[in-house]
Amino acid sequence: MSAIATELKNETLVGFYEQLWRIRLFEEQVQRLAARGEVPGFPHLSTGQEAVAVGVCALLNEDDYLFSGHRAHGHVLAKGSDPYAVFAEIIGRQDGVCRGRGGSMHLVDVAHGVLGATGVVAGNVSIAAGAAWAAQVRGESRLAVVFFGDGATGAGVFHETLNLASLWRLPLLLVCENNGMAEFTGREEHSNVAKVSAFAAPYGIPTQTIDGNDVLAVYEAAREAIESIRGSGGPWLLECMTYRMAGHYVGDAQHYRSKEELAAMKEKDPIDRLRRDLVKRGIPENALAAVAARVKAELDTVVDRARRAPHPDPRTVLEDVYSAWN
C-alpha cells in the first residue's frame, strides 16, 4: 500500500470507493437505457477510467471550475453534481442540468463549478484557460481543471493553450486521460509521441505520468499539482494512463479489440483494485459490498425518477438563444 494510502483515513478511502461505484453504475444505467432507445444521441461512457475523475475531483473545491470533453459523466458526478439532474439531462428531460438542451456531451452545472463539457475534441481546453485567467486577474484562489483524452493532443488549439497557459502562468490543471485510444484507433497511429506528458516539457509545464487506474496514485499526483497551482506555480499537466473498458460510444462493437485484451481488462479495473487495497487494510468485504449495494439502490431511485420527469416543452425551443435583451 502506498504512502498516501496510509495517510488517508478509512472513511476517505471508502468515500472514493463509493464515488467509483456511483460513476460505474450510473453509466451502466445510461448503457441500459441507451440499449432500450431511451437515450437520444450517442453517449460516451468512461467505464474503466473512473479513478481519474474521483482522484482529481476529491481535491477540488465547489467553486473550482471544471471542463471536460465528450466522456464527461464521471467528471461531473465526481465534482458534486446531482446524479438525478445529470441523468435527467442525459435522457433529455426538463429537470436536467441544462433543461434538456445540452445532453450527455454538453453537461453544464454552474452551481457545482461544472462550466462545461464539449462534443468537440480539445474544443474547450482554451476555454478552461480563459476561466483560469479570470480567476487569476481577480486574485481568486480557485483554479480551472480540464479533462481530455490523448486524442485531443492532435489538435492545434491544445498546443496553443499549453503555450499560453505557461506564458501567463495560469492556474490551470490539464488532465489527460490517456486510454491509448483516439475514438477507434490506437495512439501509435495518431502520434510518434507516445507519452502526452512529453508535450509539457517544451512549454516549461510541470508534468507527471501516473497510473490512472489507481485512484490513490491519481489523488497523490493531483494533490501535488493542485498545491503547486494554488501557490501560483502556473499550470500542470497530469497524464493518467488508463483504460477505456467501454467502446468509444454506446453500441460500439469494438472489433478493434482482441479477446486477450478484453480478458485482461478486469485486472485493470480501478474499482476492483481499490477493493483489494481496502480489504488488505482490514475493511470487511461485506462492508464494501454494502457500499456498492447502497449506491445501486440510490441510482435505481434516481433513474426511476428521471424516467418519470417531464419532457421539455417544445414551445420553449427558442429560449436562451440570446440573453433577454431582444
Task: Give residues in contact with another protein (CB under 8 A).
Answer: 65, 96-102, 106, 108-110, 115-116, 118-120, 123-135, 137, 144, 156-157, 160-161, 163-164, 167, 319-323, 325-326
Question: CB under 8 Å to 94, separation ≥6 — which residues?
Answer: 88, 100, 309, 310, 311, 312, 313
Phi-psi region of 99 (alpha: psi -120 to 50; beta: other; left: phi over 0): left
Kindly report the number of other CB atoms within 10 A of residue 13's CB atom: 20
Selection from 75, 266, 70 nearest residue 183 by Cα: 70
Cβ nearer to another protein, comparing 31 with 161: 161
Amino acid at 29: Q
Instruction: Please calculate the CA angle 136-240-3 and round it to the nearest 5 degrees.
Output: 90
- Kindly state the cell numbers that stand for 41: 444521441
Cβ nearer to another protein, comparing 45 with 164: 164
Selection from 60, 286, 11, 295 nearest residue 171 by Cα: 60
Please, what is the minimum distance in Å from the beta carbon of residue 102 to another protein? 4
Please, what is the minimum distance in Å from the beta carbon of residue 187 to another protein? 23
Selection from 229, 207, 51, 43 nearest residue 145 by Cα: 229
- 317/267 Cα distance (integer angstroms): 47
Please, what is the minimum distance in Å from the beta carbon of residue 155 to another protein? 9
Please, what is the minimum distance in Å from the beta carbon of residue 300 to another protein? 26
Cβ nearer to another protein, comparing 234 with 247: 234
- 106/103 Cα distance (integer angstroms): 6
Please, what is the minimum distance in Å from the beta carbon of residue 142 to another protein? 9
- Alpha-helix runs per DSSP H in 36-102: 50-57, 73-79, 83-90
Cβ nearer to another protein, comparing 125 with 306: 125
Kindly report the number of other CB atoms within 10 A of residue 243's CB atom: 21
Please, what is the minimum distance in Å from the beta carbon of residue 62 to another protein? 15
Cβ nearer to another protein, comparing 80 with 119: 119
Please, what is the minimum distance in Å from the beta carbon of residue 130 to another protein? 2
Cβ nearer to another protein, comparing 109 with 214: 109
Please, what is the minimum distance in Å from the beta carbon of residue 8 to another protein? 32
Q: Is the separation of the CB atoms in 21 and 292 below 8 Å?
A: yes
Cβ nearer to another protein, comparing 90 with 125: 125
- 33/154 Cα distance (integer angstroms): 33
Cβ nearer to another protein, comparing 63 with 267: 63
